[in-house]
Structure 1
Amino acid sequence: MNIVVLISGRGSNLKAIAKAFDKGKIEGKISLVISNRKDAPGLKVAQQFGIPSEFHNPSDFASREDYDRHLINRIEMEKPDLVVLAGYMRILSEEFIKTFEGRLVNIHPSLTPAFKGLHAQRQAVEYGVKFSGCTVHFVTADLDAGPVIVQAVVPLTPEDSEDTLSEKIRYYEHKIYPQAIKWISEGRVRQKGRIVVVEGAKYGCLPVNPALEDF
């Protein structure tokens, strides 16, 4: 499995995925990390793992479409099996999504399709839900609502804030994102319409989270 990772921020999910490759839990490599922010801490994470990384400045391009077309050309040079969005804070153009359709994944800090967009954890707290979580999904033109590969469920308490919920959810993000990539790398993920099935995967809750195989 050869993947390219796009980031904008701290790179905590990048770190979790890189560790999984380093430990041999996922066979293959991260061939490139791309950031749309020059100061993204995730670029240092890539450096720590010896992964090539690049900053591509959106301000150098006349439009979102031009920038994404540039990224498409750069990413395709790596011949990736999978393009992974790990805290990439830009809405993708239609051309970008179509180019990598079926091999473009994202993680979102809610049980999609609930609480799309920014500040999903704050939305969950303010709405008063009793459970939230995170979702790894294939990316489609429908924002944060692509076919679900795996989800983790996190309970809320009346004392939870956006920050405390974010920390709870982040723990499981670092579990289910590498797990989903491993499943894809093993050819076990099958999609029919919106339904995604992982061959041989354990489904259920322990007590409210997916039965993770290796993570």
Structure 2
Amino acid sequence: MGNVDRDFALISPNISLVDVPLPRRAKLGILASGSGSNYGAIAAAIEAGELNADIPVLICNKPRAKVLERAAKFGTKTQLLNHREFDSREALDEAILACFREHGVEWVIMAGWMRIVTDVLLKGYENRILNIHPSILPSFKGIRAIEQALAAQVKVTGCSVHFASLEVDSGEIVMQAAVPIAPNDTAETLHARIQAQEHRIFPTAIALAIRDSEQ
């Protein structure tokens, strides 16, 4: 069960990144709270010339998050907006919106962003905010989705790229991948295999959403 290719089953749509060339470079603003592995997959796809985009800025809400180190290696400019220094979710989103607009961001990519977004950001980038979630939505929304799947004893879980909405993990789905659950899986082993598929579909889903929005 540890083989990435064997684990992978694309649910929808059946398309790869090479099938979605973008006619112009899109400007992506990244939101990340943790290690930044999904940001890394996106940045690597850009660096390889596979995703026609730039990342003018990455916003992080945690001062010691590993994503800040990862961003430095890719040469991506970062902005720390510690959520603890804001009086409300709306105030944080106003600061995010201002930063992204200053840098000419066209699409917002939530790459492991552990904060609920508000109407401030959703209206500022209407239908232009994408999120990644470690389940086959609409199953297992919210936090600890992998633990939820294991507790439910399902045979298959996976990941979904979807548009952000006020209701958590409920926006329109762009792309999904399935990952089988092994009898001896733990949250850690299953997470690693799901994450491998997140890295695989996220850049493609971004390109697909951008292309479809401009047709």
TM-score band w.r.t. shorter chain: 0.7 to 0.9
Give per-residue Cα distances to partners, 1:173-204, cap 9 Å, x unaligned: 0000011112234x2358xxxxxxxx9xxxxx
- Equivalent residue letter for 2:48: K
**Does the alignment pair 1:92 with 2:151?**
no
Deviation at 1:63, TM superposition (A): 1.5
In structure 1, the gaps of 5 or more residues are 191-198, 200-215
TM-score (normalizing by structure 2):
0.85
Alignment of 1:11-90 (within 5 A): 11-90=36-115
Corresponding residue SS for 1:25: coil
Partner amino acid, structure 1, of 2:54: K
Is the 1:101–1:140 Cα contact (8 Å) retained in structure 2?
A: no
2:139 aligned to which of 114, 125, 134: 114
Please list every run of at least 4 consecutive aligned residues from structure 1 whose deviation after the TM superposition is greater than 3 angstroms. Answer: none
- Further displaced range: 155-164 or 118-127: 155-164
Deviation at 1:94? 2.0
CA displacement 1:80-123 (0-9 Å, x = unmatched): 22100000001111221122121100000000111111110010
Instruction: Quote how far apart the aligned CAs of 1:60 are.
Output: 2.2
1:111, 1:90 → 2: CA distance? 20
User: Which residue in the other structure is 1:212 paired with?
Assistant: none
**1:132: which partner in 2?**
157
- RMSD (Å), alpha carbons: 1.4
For residues 64 and 189 of structure 1, what CA distance do their matches in structure 2 show?
28
2:174–2:209: 8 Å Cα contact kept in structure 1? no
Distance across 1 between alignment mates of 2:120 and 2:40 = 28
Q: Is the 8 A contact 1:25 1:182 kept in 2?
A: no
For 1:48 and 1:184, how far apart are their aligned partners in 2? 27
Greater RCO (Cα-Cα under 8 Å, separation 6 or more)? 2
Could you say what secondary structure the match of 1:164 adopts? helix
CA contact (8 A) 2:32 2:113 kept: yes
Gap regions ≥5 residues in structure 2: 1-25
Partner Cα separation in structure 2 for residue 119 and residue 92 of structure 1:
18
What amino acid maps onto 2:193 in structure 1?
A: K
Alignment size in residue pairs: 190
Corresponding position of 1:188: 212
Q: Percent identity?
A: 37
Q: 3-state DSSP class of the match of 1:188?
A: helix
TM-score (norm 1): 0.85
> Is the CA contact 2:38–2:202 (under 8 Å) kept in the aligned structure 1?
yes
| 8 Å CA contact retained: 2:156, 2:180 | yes
Residues in 1 aligned to 2:53 and 2:111: alpha-carbon distance in whole angstroms: 18
Query: Aligned equivalents of 2:90 and 2:47: distance in 1?
Result: 35
Which whole-Å CA distance do the structure 2 matches of 1:110 and 1:21 have between them?
25
- Select the structure that is richer in helix: 2
Note the alpha carbon deviations across 1:143-191, whole angstroms, 9 max, x for none. 0111010000011122111111101101100000011112234x2358x
